[in-house]
Amino acid sequence: MGSGQTVVVFGAYGHTGRFVVARLHDRGFVPVLSGRDGAKLAAMAATGPGWDVRPASVDDPAALDRALAGAAAVINCAGPFAVTAAPVIEAALRAGIPYVDVAAEIEANVDTFADFADRARAAGTAIVPAMAFYGGLGDLLATAAMGDWTAADEAHIAYGLSGWHPTAGTRAAGAVSRQRRGGRRVRYTAGRLEYWQDAAPTLTWPFPEPMGPRAVIGEFSMADVVTLPSHLAVPEVRTYMTVEAAGDLSAPDTPVPSAVDDRGRSAQTFLVDVLLRSGGTERRAVARGRDIYAVTAPLAVEAVERILTRRTRTVGVASAGEIFDAPDFLRSLSPHISVELQA
């Protein structure tokens, strides 16, 4: 457990940040609330057991250094990560502490691998981007499904969401990504990221029962197209999203998530279906759970716990499946996610 270690949550008052703070507290860590809005931080701190508040903005390195002073780690929950990731990583490197974020932004994750790999490795520091429902979970599932394979021909990650009520942060991050792509869509094929002007296809994905076959948007690329290829020899990575959830995300009037239990979770459910192909053989991993934002908290906090207790396989910038024992990590999530591995 956390043993009273201090972990800074940057963007603590955001929707996902609040789940992360609560999970840190439950695991025995001491969360420090940080972000640019001091009033929101103070209001949030008033609801907790004397939480420390350290306002900081990404354009003020000295404030970031004060926010991270004495901390064991930092979790960045503040998007758009195209704006926040690099400054907070720089501060973490100056402080000599590990960094974890929950970025679903493809380009921001690419930048983290490209810009910080050498420095983080030289410093012996762990930097884990996309340690969230998108990116981290799919990578853990694919890595666990790979088993003794050293390579695969294809990896497919299909998201079966009952619906998707995006947060304000999700919408802001999506807008930044679309701007950076010039409105194009992205996919990972032939061992590289490519940008396309054409419309994504609609097809049917054979989700396991009881969900069954559903219409999905093909090549609905998420952070998995960065995390998986960062360490798995898979030249084709395709991700899919149920049509209904994609429609919720694109509709401007879809409401934000609403809590239906005392933990603040929404009623949304999800099924993540990962399929690997090598020659004529297939392997599959399936995860089921509730609330894609809430479930990000146990993913990110478990990552910090394992880094601080040295249950890691590498240092530097690394995705979840590379730095952690994927099957063991997934087992640790059993109170929050049910997982099936199928040969």
Q: H or E segment at 141?
A: helix 138-146
Nearest-angstrom CA–CA distance, 86 and 84: 6
Contact between 132 and 321 under an 8 Å Cβ cutoff? The reply is no
Q: In the predicted model, is pLDDT for residue 20 greater than 90?
A: yes
Among 5-14, 137-146, 170-179, 250-259, the range scoring the smallest mean pLDDT is 170-179
Residue 91 tokens read as 């501060």
Nearest-angstrom CA–CA distance, 246 and 251: 9
**pLDDT tens-digit series, residues 67-112:** 999 999 999 999 999 999 999 999 999 999 999 999 999 999 999 9
DSSP of 163-223: -----HHHHHHHHHHHHHHTT-EEEEETTEEEEE-SPPPEEEEEPPTTT-EEEEETT---T
Segment 335-340 mean pLDDT: 96
Nearest-angstrom CA–CA distance, 84 and 99: 12
Residue 66 tokens read as 């004060």
Nearest-angstrom CA–CA distance, 223 and 143: 15
Contact between 101 and 80 under an 8 Å Cβ cutoff? The reply is no
Q: Is the alpha carbon torsion for 288, 126, 187, 199 positive or negative? A: positive
Segment 285-301 mean pLDDT: 98
Residue 54: its pLDDT value, please? 98
Residue 210 preceded by cis peptide, ω within 30: yes
Residue 48: its pLDDT value, please? 86
Strand partners, 33: 9, 53
Mean pLDDT of the chain: 96
Segment 311-326 mean pLDDT: 98
Nearest-angstrom CA–CA distance, 266 and 290: 8
Residue 171: its pLDDT value, please? 95
What does pTM read for this prediction? 0.97
DSSP of 92-114: HHHHT--EEE----HHHHHHHHH
**pLDDT tens-digit series, residues 133-182:** 999 999 999 999 999 999 999 999 999 999 999 999 999 999 999 899 99
Contact between 272 and 158 under an 8 Å Cβ cutoff? The reply is yes
Helix/strand/coil percentages in the chain, nearest 5: 35, 25, 40
Q: In the predicted model, is pLDDT for residue 3 greater than 80?
A: no
Segment 23-41 mean pLDDT: 97
Residue 2: its pLDDT value, please? 66
Pairing of strands 192-196, 185-189: antiparallel
Q: In the predicted model, is pLDDT for residue 249 greater than 90?
A: yes
Residue 66: its pLDDT value, please? 98
Residue 183: its pLDDT value, please? 87
Q: In the predicted model, is pLDDT for residue 1 greater than 90?
A: no
Q: List the domains of the chain with CATH numbers.
A: 6-130+296-327 (3.40.50.720), 133-293+334-342 (3.30.360.10)
pLDDT band for position 50 (50/70/90)?
Answer: confident
Q: What angle do CA 264, 247, 110 make, to 5 degrees?
A: 80
Residue 139: its pLDDT value, please? 98
pLDDT band for position 342 (50/70/90)?
Answer: confident
